[in-house]
Chain A
Amino acid sequence: MNLLTKALTKSLWVFHLSTGSCNNCDIEILDCLTPRYDVERFGIVLAGSIKHADVLLVTGIGTRKNAKRIQKLYQQMPKPGFVVAIGACSCSGGIFRDGYPMAGPISSLIPVDVWIPGCPPKPEAIIAGLVSLLGKLK
Chain B
Amino acid sequence: MIFLLWLLVSLVVFFGLGIITGWLERKLTARLQWRVGPPWWQNLADFVKLLGKEVVVPETATSFFSLAPVIGLAAVTTAGAMILLAAFQPGSSVDLIVLIYILVLPSLSLILAGASSGNPLASVGVARELKLMLGYELPFILALLVPVVKAGTTNLGVLFRLQLAQGMTVGSISGLLAFGVALLTIQGKIGGVPFDVSEAETEIASGLLIEYSGLLLGIFKLTRWMLTAVAVFFLVFYFWAGLSRVPSAIGKYLLIVILLVLIKNTNPRLRIDQAMKFFWGWLTGISVTAILFAYLGW
A52 touching B48, Cβ below 8 Å: no
Whether A108 is near chain B, meaning CB under 8 Å from some CB there, is: no
Prevailing SS type, chain B contact patch: loop
A72 interface hit (Cβ, 8 Å): no
For B45, give its contact among A10, A48, A49 (CB under 8 Å).
A10
20-40 of chain B: CB within 8 A of chain A = 26, 30, 33-39
Distance to closest chain A CB from B50 (angstroms): 8
Q: Which residues of A contact B39 (CB under 8 A)?
A: 41
Is the CB–CB distance between B26 and A40 below 8 Å? yes
Q: Scoring B residues 46 to 69 as 1 if CB is less than 8 Å from chain A, else 0, what string do you get?
A: 101101111110000000000000
**Residue of A whose beta carbon sits closest to that of B49:** A7
A33-50 near B? 1/0 per residue, CB < 8 Å: 011001011110011110
- Please, how many angstroms separate the alpha-carbon atoms of A43 and B37 in the complex? 9
Decide yes or no whether A80 CB sits under 8 A from chain B: yes
A130 to chain B, nearest CB (A): 15
Say whether A4 faces chain B, with CB atoms less than 8 Å apart.
Answer: yes
Q: A35-B35, A41-B37 are in contact. Are A49 and B49 (CB under 8 A)?
A: no
| Cα of A7 to Cα of B47 in the assembled complex, Å | 8
A51 is contacted by which of B41, B46, B201, B211 (Cβ under 8 Å)? Answer: B211
**How far apart are the CA atoms of A35 and B37 in the complex, in Å?**
9
Residues of B within 8 A of A47 (CB): 206
Stretch at the interface among B151-159, B164-172, B212-220: B212-220
Within 8 A of A (CB), among B184-218: 199, 201-202, 205-206, 209-214, 217
Interface size class of A (residues with CB under 8 A): 20 to 34
B210–A48 CB distance below 8 A: yes
Q: Which residue of A has the minimal Cβ distance to B202?
A: A48
Q: How many CB-defined contacts (below 8 Å) exist between A and B?
A: 84
Known: A4-B52, A40-B26, A40-B38. A35 touches B213 (CB 8 A): no
Determine if A79 is an interface residue (Cβ-Cβ < 8 Å): yes
Assess whether B42 is interfacial by the CB under 8 Å rule: yes
In the assembled complex, the Cα of A10 lies from the Cα of B101 at a distance in Å of: 38
CA distance A40 to B28 in the complex (A): 13
Q: Indicate if A107 sits at the interface (CB-CB under 8 A).
A: no
Alpha-carbon separation in the docked complex, A23 to B97 (Å): 53
Tell me if A3 counts as interface (CB < 8 A to partner B). yes
Give Cα A112 to B24, complex, Å: 35
Min CB distance A49 to B, Å, is: 5
Instruction: Indicate if A103 sits at the interface (CB-CB under 8 A).
Output: no
Interface residues of A in 45-81 (CB under 8 A from B): 46-49, 51-52, 54, 76, 78-80
Q: Which residues of A contact B54 (CB under 8 A)?
A: 78-80
Report yes or no: B34 in contact with A80, Cβ–Cβ below 8 A.
no
From A4, A40, A42, A52, contact of B30 by CB (8 A):
A40
Within 8 A of A (CB), among B96-148: none
B55 touching A49, Cβ below 8 Å: no
Q: Residues of A contacting B205 with CB < 8 Å?
A: 48-49
CB distance from A56 to the nearest CB of B (A): 14
Q: Is the CB of A79 within 8 A of B206?
A: no
**Contact of A51 with B56 in the complex, beta carbons under 8 Å:** yes
Enumerate A72-104 residues with CB–CB distance to B below 8 Å: 76, 78-80
Shortest distance in angstroms between A63's beta carbon and chain B's nearest beta carbon?
21
Question: Are the C-beta atoms of B45 and A7 separated by less than 8 Å?
Answer: yes
**7 pairs from A and B in contact (CB 8 Å cutoff):** A10-B42, A41-B35, A43-B42, A48-B205, A49-B210, A51-B213, A52-B206
Interface residues of A (CB under 8 A from B): 3-5, 7-8, 10-11, 34-35, 38, 40-43, 46-49, 51-52, 54, 76, 78-80
Contacts A41-B36, A78-B214, A80-B52 aside, 9 further interface pairs with beta carbons under 8 A come to: A7-B45, A10-B45, A35-B33, A38-B37, A40-B26, A40-B35, A41-B38, A49-B206, A54-B49
Chain B residues close to A by CB (< 8 Å): 26, 30, 33-39, 41-42, 45-46, 48-49, 51-56, 199, 201-202, 205-206, 209-214, 217
Closest 6 CB pairs of A and B: A4-B52, A48-B201, A7-B48, A48-B206, A7-B49, A78-B54
